[in-house]
Structures are given as C-alpha cells and as structure tokens.
C-alpha cells in the first residue's frame, strides 16, 4: 500500500468540511490521504474542537496584527512540522499571500459554495437566488493567487427550489460539499502518488527568499 498523502486542513470556523474529510478517510483506512493537521487563524474556531475530538493535531494563531506574508510563514512552519504535502482550505476566511501560494503551487485545494466561475467571494447563495438561477452548487479548485480563480477540478449541482432562502440553499449545497470534497481530494491524492499529477516540490523549511 502506498503512503497516504499527508493533508493539512486550514479552517476559520465550523469545520464541517474538515470533519467530512476526516470521516471519509476513517470509513476506509486505505484511502490515499490522511489528515495530519488542522490549522486555524482563529483560536476560537469551532472546528478545532471537532479536530481534537477526532484525534487530529491542531495549530491555531490569531492573524490579527500579523502581516499576511508573516502569518502565512507561521502557517507554513506548522504544515512543514507535520510533513504536510497537500493543503485543503475548508472555510478558511483569509486570503493567502502570493508567496505562500506560489511555494505550494498545485498543492492547495479549496471548496467554494458556487458553480465557479460564477459567484467568487462571499454571499454566493444570495447572489444565485437574486440572479434567478435554477441551479446552484459547489466547486473544488486548485488555489492560485487570485481569489476563487484556479482550475476547477470537480463540481456538484443542486437544484434551486422556488421557496429557497440563502440559508436553506446553503444547507443543501453544504451536504453536497461534504461528498464532493473528500472524493476530489482522494482523486487528487491518487494522482500525486501515481505521478500523473505534477506539482511543485515541497517547500523546504526556512527557505523563504528563493522565489
């Protein structure tokens, strides 16, 4: 059996997608990925409690008063300490510095609650309803420096119903996110291990001024 790809999940809040990733893996230990670290930019993030309960190491630090690139270097140090190879953003409400994204090029995935390229940014469900869309959904994409902009790997659609509110729609989309993200990370991890996905070599600790 090949070594599972070591995944670090970045969260800011509830962490339900992180939990879905952990549970998907737990249902079948032969999965090609395993969660090695859950890191948050808010020490009060509820998902940290969930991660601890699941036995996953956690790291947190408030981003307040810390320059973006400096904060990302702290996050990176934690990732490298846990030998993380793939970063999964799961409700991480911080823009990443271009430096961090470039150093981890091809190694950062994100789940976004819209059918990208529609509705990048926040408040996606309200915007879909206001536009009169009949279909909403979620996307998993590779992270590039521009917000919610990298290549889309997978999407799931959710039909919009006449009486949907943003909250009701968000719940149905979230249920799809919980299925889509684990499957996509699983496929991506398989690609990494089998070598048909070529990504940047892992950053080396303390090596911040090369690019």
Q: Which is nearer to ligand GRF, 181 or 203 (CB)?
A: 181
Among 17, 36, 58, 97, binds ligand GRF (CB under 6 A): 17
Catalytic residue among 24, 82, 112, 141: 112
Residues 145-174 that bind ligand GRF (CB under 6 A): 174
Residue 56 host element (H or E):
none
The contacts of residue 73 (CB under 8 Å, 6+ apart) are 100, 208
Q: How far is the CB of 114 from ligand GRF (least distance, A)?
A: 9
Among 112, 143, 184, 192, binds ligand GRF (CB under 6 A): 112
Among 21, 56, 96, 111, binds ligand GRF (CB under 6 A): 111
- Among 124, 180, 111, 117, smallest CA distance to 149 is for 117
Sheet holding 58-60, edge to edge: 58-60, 33-40, 5-11, 86-89, 108-112, 135-142, 152-159
Residue with tokens 């956690």: 58
Reply yes or no on whether 112 is catalytic.
yes
Residue ranges in 34-93 that form contacts with ligand GRF under rule CB under 6 A: 47, 90-91
- Residue with smaller CB distance to ligand GRF, 15 or 32: 15
Q: Residue 206 region, left (φ>0) first, then alpha (ψ -120 to 50), else beta? A: left
Contact 114/120 with Cβ under 8 angstroms? yes
Return phi, psi of residue 108, to 5°: -125, 125
Instruction: Give CA–CA dist 36/198, Å, rounded.
Output: 22
Residue span binding ligand GRF (CB under 6 A) among the ranges 25-33, 35-43, 64-72, 108-116: 108-116
Q: Is residue 177 a contact residue for ligand GRF (CB under 6 A)?
A: yes
Q: Which is nearer to ligand GRF, 90 or 192 (CB)?
A: 90
Residue number, 11 or 116, with CB nearest to ligand GRF:
11
Catalytic residues: 112
Which residues bind to ligand GRF, rule: CB under 6 A? 11, 13-17, 47, 90-91, 111-113, 138, 174, 177
């Amino acid at each position: 059996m090949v070594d599972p790809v070591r995944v670090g999940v970045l969260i800011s809040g509830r962490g339900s997608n992180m939990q879905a990733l952990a549970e998907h893996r737990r249902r079948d230990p032969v999965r090609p990925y395993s969660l090695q670290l859950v890191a948050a930019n808010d020490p009060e993030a509820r998902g940290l409690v969930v991660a601890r309960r699941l036995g996953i190491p956690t790291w947190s630090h408030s981003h307040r008063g810390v320059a973006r690139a400096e904060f990302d270097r702290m996050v990176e140090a934690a990732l490298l300490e846990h030998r993380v190879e793939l970063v999964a953003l799961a409700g991480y409400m911080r823009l990443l510095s271009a430096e961090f994204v470039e150093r981890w090029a091809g190694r950062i995935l994100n789940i976004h609650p819209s059918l990208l390229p529609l509705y990048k940014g926040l408040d996606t469900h309200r915007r879909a309803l206001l536009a009169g869309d009949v279909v909403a959904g979620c996307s998993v994409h590779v992270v590039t420096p521009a917000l919610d902009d990298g290549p889309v790997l997978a999407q799931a659609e959710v039909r919009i119903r006449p009486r949907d509110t943003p909250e009701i729609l968000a719940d149905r989309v979230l249920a799809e996110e919980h299925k889509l993200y684990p499957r996509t990370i699983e496929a991506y991890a398989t690609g990494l291990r089998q070598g048909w996905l070529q990504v940047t070599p892992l950053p080396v600790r303390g090596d911040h001024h090369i690019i």
